[in-house]
Structures are given as C-alpha cells and as structure tokens.
Amino acid sequence: MNGIHRIQNVFTRGRPAFMPYAVLGYPTRTVSLDIVKTLSAVGADLLELGVPFSDPLADGPTIQAATQKSLENGTTLKDCLAMTHELRQQGMDTPALLMGYINPILAYGLEKFVADAAQVGVDGLIVPDLPPEEAAELEAACATHGLALVYLLAPTSTLERIKLITEKSQGFVYLVSLTGVTGARTDLPPDLADFVARVRQQTDKSLAVGFGIGNGRQARAVGQVADGVIVGSALVKRAGESVERVRDLAVELRTALG
C-alpha cells in the first residue's frame, strides 16, 4: 500500500483523525524520537514530523524557537530521514508526513529526496511555501514514489483557489483555521464552520484543520466539522518541558475526538 492510500485510510475510522505535530531533533534527537513514539502510542492517527528550517514563514514563535533549537542541535534534512527510518525500524507503523520548506529539499535534490523519503517510510509531504503552480516537479516525483503531496488552504482563499487546491492535494486537504501563523489560541475562529463548509462544497476529499488548536475542548469542536484535527504548537511547547507533559496533552486531545 502506498503512502497516499495509507493516509486516506486514516479518515475511514468513523471519528475525526488525531494528527499531532512534532519537531524532529527537538529538544534533542533522542527525546524527539521518544515524543513521536509516545504520540503514536497514545493513538495518533497521522503524524506530522517537522523538518527544521531557518526561515519557517508559516510558523509562530513556539515552533520557530523549537526548529531553531533543532538546527542548533545540527539537525539536517538527511537526519530527519534517518530519524524516520529509525522509528520505522523500531516498529512505529503510524502513517507519517514530513512537513518542511522547499529550500532544503532543493538543496538535497528533489527527486533523490522523494525517493529516499519513500524508502525510509514517509507517506507524504507538506511544503507550506510551495504553491501548486510551482510544484509540477515535486508532484511528479511524489506520484512516481506513491507519496501524498498535501496543500494548504486559508480562510481568505478564493473559490478559484479552493478548486485548484482541492484538486491537487492528495490524502487530505489541510485547512488553516485562521489568517496568521501557527500557535495555540484561546478561542477558535467564529467562521471556521463556514470555511470548512465552503471547501466541502468543492470536494469529497477529507478535510483536516490546523493552527490554533491547543486543548481537548477546541479539538472536539473542530472535530465536529472536520475530518481531522491537527495540533502543533501546544504539543511542541510541552515537548520543551517533558515527554510526560506531551503525553498528557496528547491523551486529552485523543480522548476528546472519541
């Protein structure tokens, strides 16, 4: 089964998918692997593994600080592939996406990166700063190796944009809940349900919502309108404290989704 099918199957379980994010290499290489294994063990349906980059334009202060620390620890894109391979070798079977920016991929070699990612057990990619108009080469490589390439939609997206992104995105469509960067918020955007409904009118693909979700109450509310709930900054903040703190929040989030 290729990565696209593995990701699609995540959304066939009769409840919203729990989709946590972790920064590879943060706070240390070893602890980041423990965190990913913990997220898998408590019931993550799909993992987003963050690749550190020096200019993470879609990310807020929490993830920026974590990725900077990971870079200071010496984490490279090659290391992220090695860590994914190590997790797979240790028996972690949860579908996983690498989420990172295009410059390190280009420096690595686009075709080689996709081939290597598939080889080590990556199921898909999220590249926030790569618009579909410039993604033909990456799309072709992903198609060759069976990886899902997931695109993002914002609340400000036009109907034309929604149609393009929902056509191109594979596995699911990533809906950014708000206009801004990542980071937990006190309240969810009041127009989130309307945004999800607008996108649903254009596609039968699964819709996952991320940005701004930080506790079980918010996860449950998002799960009432979306097929998947993505949580990043709140978990990354706890990653800087302890694996146990990550586990506690992950259990709360997973439980809230049924």
59 is catalytic: yes
In angstroms, rounded to a whole number, what is the distance separating the alpha carbons of residues 16 and 206? 10
Which of 59, 116, 123, 227 is catalytic? The answer is 59
Rounded to 5°, the CA angle 69-230-196 comes to 140
The helix-helix angle for 216-223 and 243-256 (nearest 10°) equals 40
Whether the Cβ atoms of residue 66 and residue 21 lie closer than 8 Å to each other: no
In angstroms, rounded to a whole number, what is the distance separating the alpha carbons of residues 258 and 247? 17
Query: CB neighbours of 136 closer than 8 A, spacing ≥ 6?
Result: none
Calculate the alpha carbon distances from 176 to 28, 85, 197 in Å.
28, 29, 14
What is the chain's length? Answer: 258
* Token output for 223: 């799960």
48 is catalytic: yes
Calculate the alpha carbon distances from 73 to 80, 110, 198 in Å.
12, 24, 42
Which of 34, 45, 48, 133 is catalytic? The answer is 48
> What residues are annotated to the active site?
48, 59
